[in-house]
Amino acid sequence: MPSTKTNSINQYCSVCKDHFEMDVVKQGSSKGVVWLKCPGCQGFLPYMPDESEEPENSRGGDSEQQEIALEDLDIENAKEYSEKNVYEVGEILHHRSWNDFGRVVSKDRLPGNRRTIWVQFLRQGKIQLLEGVE
């Protein structure tokens, strides 16, 4: 028997709460699914490629992610958001429709010289809003 590792895949076992080199087990009944056998608990589990574990919150125009908490925000002095107003980076906003607080993290301009702000909201995440609309 050649002792190659080509028929094993490193995967996390939620039962053992650890990663193992798992032997690939072929099961004819479930076509397309690769089954692995965990050497820890001897259980069988389907092979799951890493990309299926990615969280699906890739909203926003760039890659910078800033998590904020309610206690980080001076909500006593939050300004009501209106697209007619103009805001500064660092200001705290309250968006009435969403009942959500957020902080202005950056400013941007869209084609047509429309002014926008990027706001990191507590619940909605990072959202681009218009400002200074005439």
Give the residues lining the site for Zn ion (CB under 5 A). 13, 15-16, 38, 40-41
SS3 of residue 51 by DSSP: helix
Name the residue nearer to Zn ion (CB basis): 37 or 115.
37
Q: CB count, 10 Å around CB of 63?
A: 6
Q: CB count, 10 Å around CB of 105?
A: 16
CB of 25 to Zn ion, least distance (A): 13
CB of 53 to Zn ion, least distance (A): 17
Cβ pair 121, 98 in contact under 8 A: yes
CB of 10 to Zn ion, least distance (A): 13
Q: CB count, 10 Å around CB of 28?
A: 5
Q: What are phi and psi of 24, to 5 degrees?
A: -80, 130
Name the residue nearer to Zn ion (CB basis): 21 or 108.
21
Cα–chain-centroid distance for residue 98?
A: 20
Name the residue nearer to Zn ion (CB basis): 15 or 75.
15
CB of 43 to Zn ion, least distance (A): 5
Name the residue nearer to Zn ion (CB basis): 11 or 106.
11
